[in-house]
Amino acid sequence: MDKLKLALWGTGALVVAILTGYLYGWWGASGFAEQRDHAMLRLQLSQATAFVLDARVNIYTTNFGNASKQLEQAKRYVAAVRPLLQSRGPRDQVKELDAAATAIDEAQALTRKFSQDANGRAEDAVELIRAVYWATPSPAPAQGEVTR
């Protein structure tokens, strides 16, 4: 009987230890997931900005075909950012992101007409994307990391 009682206590302690470890791991991982999402959001916004800026250079050098391709890439990044922004980012920034997507569409339509006005619309898109970028919380530095 004593061995059975000891085995039950040992099994109970093991179950409690496993459950405690699982809950502690789950609790600690939620902060990392949020930081990861903020980092991915900012990375994709940076990529969209880079593609629009590259398109502006192509428009300036009258390479409208490449500009249209770059704007298409930027639209993909903006579309990928939208759901993440709705779930993890500042929700009021979704309207600015939609305005940026519209500006990119308009710039791309102007590149198909070989119009230099596309450069102005692309500039508007860059400013809107940057506004969303700066409104997005920056991921916290890793523990022990030195920040300046």
pTM for this structure? 0.74
Q: What's the pLDDT at 29?
A: 58
CB burial of residue 129 (10 Å; 0-12, 13-18, 19+): buried
Q: Using 50, 70 and 90 to split pLDDT, how confident is the model at 137?
A: confident
Q: Using 50, 70 and 90 to split pLDDT, how confident is the model at 19?
A: confident
- Contact (CB, 8 A) for 71 and 52: yes
Q: Is the per-residue pLDDT at 24 higher than 70?
A: no
Q: What's the pLDDT at 45?
A: 94
Both structure tokens of 69: 């391709």
Domains and CATH numbers, the chain: 33-135 (1.20.120.660)
Q: Is the per-residue pLDDT at 144 higher than 70?
A: no
